[in-house]
Every structure is written in structure tokens, then in C-alpha cells.
């Protein structure tokens, strides 16, 4: 049976004397009736596709709506010619988050992690870090397991869908998954991974899903940037020894409660938020949506 709590993953770590990622892999093998080698092969393919999706960005491609496409290129040009406030590494994370969101809007292959609308958060952090610091590939694949385990628990206790939980369920979940994953890459303990995830989720709790004209473009693409940068901040706090006073499973439960209380107009219906701003309505009318 799939893990129902992050505490369950941590309990297995203690019981079997394994790392967090390994506890997730073992559950994957048991639930799907596959060997550890086959599980690793599948996750390696996922990681490979994630890297490829970043590389597939075409700076000249524009979505059919004309709303997005060039943002990744613009961020690259800015970083190369100016001194970004966030510094070199974080500006690359921002650029890659934008590129992935644009790839999704331009119908290129992406890895839904956990959803297509939030596909930029994890690769922006993991692929950028891998390229920048030359980490062993196995470490990154292990981090993918960490993220998968966190995502599984969120799916079981709350939601990963904007239509049922708002954008906190998509960008928020991706941010929590990425925070725990990069924390593991940096050698954080399983407790620090939990704190990183909890802080990332709390920072984005209540985030609404309000796509302009019903498209996963505005404000979705730029929200991937917010999720990625938030994940880095949460991971750094956890690695510094800063703890979430609310345990991660309780944060996930609170997130689920907030999602259920969120008005339907703020859950992917384009009936509220920026979708019904004067400009949002103007865009929708122009596109015939």
C-alpha cells in the first residue's frame, strides 16, 4: 500500500536502516511488483526526460495564444548582460523554470512533476544544480525518489490537482517536492527534508488557480519561478537547522483543508482571480475563450 504519511517513510527508514530515497524505492517495488533494478531504470528514464525537456527549449517558439514563449530567453539575456539581484545560480533556476513552462505551453514534451502546470519547478532546481555543480547522476536520481515519495503522500492526504485544491496543489506541491529533493542532494537528513517540504508548502498555502482564458500560461508559467525560488529558500532554511514548528504531515493536511474551503471560482475555472481582471477578460475575449 502506498505511503499515507511522510512519517511512515521515515519510520521505514528507521526500521530497515535505509535512506529516505531507498524507502520510497522499496515501496515502489512492492506496490508495482518490480525489482529494484527495474524501478531504478524507470526513474533514470524520468530523470533523462527531465534533462531533455530543459534542453528542448526553443527561444523562438511562441504558444498558439501568443502569450508566452520568449521569457526563458529574456531571462538568459538579462543574466548574461546584467547583474541579477538573485545571483548567477538562482537566475539560471528562474530561466529554466520559465523555459519549462513555455515548453508546456508550446506543446513540447515535459515531465509532469507532479502536474504539467507545475512542470518547471523540479527541473529548474535539479537540472540546474546538476549542470552547475557536477553532482553524480545517481544522487539526482535518488532525489527524484525523494520528490516522488513526498508527492505520493500529498496526493493521498490532500491533492495534486488545481481543479480540486487550487494552485497550492500544483505549484505548492512541486515546491515542497523540490525542496525535499534538493535538500537530499545537499546531504540533508530525512528530518531536514521534512522541514524543507513543510516550509515550502506553508509559504504557498492558499495559492489559487486562476488561468487566464483557461490556458496553462498566465499566470502559470511565472508561478513556476515562484515555486522554484521558494523551494530553494525552504531547503536553505532547513539545511541551516531551521525547523518547521508544524510537522510536514500536518501541513499537508492543512493544505488539503484549505483546498476544500477554496471557492470554486479559484480552482481552475477561470471564474476569479486574475482570470477575471479587466485585462484577463480582454485576453480571453481576444482569443475567443
pLDDT in tens, 115-150: 999 999 999 999 999 999 999 999 999 999 999 999
**Vertex 178 angle, CA 173 and 180, to 5°:** 100
Cβ proximity of 249 and 149 under 8 Å: no
Number of alpha carbons in the 13 Å side-chain half-sphere of residue 54: 23
Query: Is 273 inside a domain boundary?
Result: yes
**Percent above pLDDT 70 for the chain:** 100
Query: Is 1 inside a domain boundary?
Result: no
Is the pLDDT assigned to residue 1 strictly greater than 70?
no
**Rounded CA gap, 2 and 98, in Å?**
32
Domain that holds residue 25: 6-287
Please tell me the total count of domains within the chain.
1
Rg (CA), the chain: 18
Query: Is 150 inside a domain boundary?
Result: yes
Distance of CA 113 to the CA centre of its chain: 6
Ramachandran category for residue 82: left, alpha or beta (phi over 0 → left; psi -120 to 50 → alpha): beta
Query: Is 235 inside a domain boundary?
Result: yes
Number of Cβ within a 10 Å radius of residue 152: 22
Residues 71-77: what's their mean pLDDT?
98
Query: Is 258 inside a domain boundary?
Result: yes
Query: Is 15 inside a domain boundary?
Result: yes
DSSP three-state, residue 142: helix
**Percent above pLDDT 90 for the chain:** 99
Helix axes 36-55, 20-32, angle to 10 degrees: 110
Query: Is 81 inside a domain boundary?
Result: yes
C-alpha cell at 289: 475563450
Cβ proximity of 211 and 284 under 8 Å: no
Amino acid at each position: 500500500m502506498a505511503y499515507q504519511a511522510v512519517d511512515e517513510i521515515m519510520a521505514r527508514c528507521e526500521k530497515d536502516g535505509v535512506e529516505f530515497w531507498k524507502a520510497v524505492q522499496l515501496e515502489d517495488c512492492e506496490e508495482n511488483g518490480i525489482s529494484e533494478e527495474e524501478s531504478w531504470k524507470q526513474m533514470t528514464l524520468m530523470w533523462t526526460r527531465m534533462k531533455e525537456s530543459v534542453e528542448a527549449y526553443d527561444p523562438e517558439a511562441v504558444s498558439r495564444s501568443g502569450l508566452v514563449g520568449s521569457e526563458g530567453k529574456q531571462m538568459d539575456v538579462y543574466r548574461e548582460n546584467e547583474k541579477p539581484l538573485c545571483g548567477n545560480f538562482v537566475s539560471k533556476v528562474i530561466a529554466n523554470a520559465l523555459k519549462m513552462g513555455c515548453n508546456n505551453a508550446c506543446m513540447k514534451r515535459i515531465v509532469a512533476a507532479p502536474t504539467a502546470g507545475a512542470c518547471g519547478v523540479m527541473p529548474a532546481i535539479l537540472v540546474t544544480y546538476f549542470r552547475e555543480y557536477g553532482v553524480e547522476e545517481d544522487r539526482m536520481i535518488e532525489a527524484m525518489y525523494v520528490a516522488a515519495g513526498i508527492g505520493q503522500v500529498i496526493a493521498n492526504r490532500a491533492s495534486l490537482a488545481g481543479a480540486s485544491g487550487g494552485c497550492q496543489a500544483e505549484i505548492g506541491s512541486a515546491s515542497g517536492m523540490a525542496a525535499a529533493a534538493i535538500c537530499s542532494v545537499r546531504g540533508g537528513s530525512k528530518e531536514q527534508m521534512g522541514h524543507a517540504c513543510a516550509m515550502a508548502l506553508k509559504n504557498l498555502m492558499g495559492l489559487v488557480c486562476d488561468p487566464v482564458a483557461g490556458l496553462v500560461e498566465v499566470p502559470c508559467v511565472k508561478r513556476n519561478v515562484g515555486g522554484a525560488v521558494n523551494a530553494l529558500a525552504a531547503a536553505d532554511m532547513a539545511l541551516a537547522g531551521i525547523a518547521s514548528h508544524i510537522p510536514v504531515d500536518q501541513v499537508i493536511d492543512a493544505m488539503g483543508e484549505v483546498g476544500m474551503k477554496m471557492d470554486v471560482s479559484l480552482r481552475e475555472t477561470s471564474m476569479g482571480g486574475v482570470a477575471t481582471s479587466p485585462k484577463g477578460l480582454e485576453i480571453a475575449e481576444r482569443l475567443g475563450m
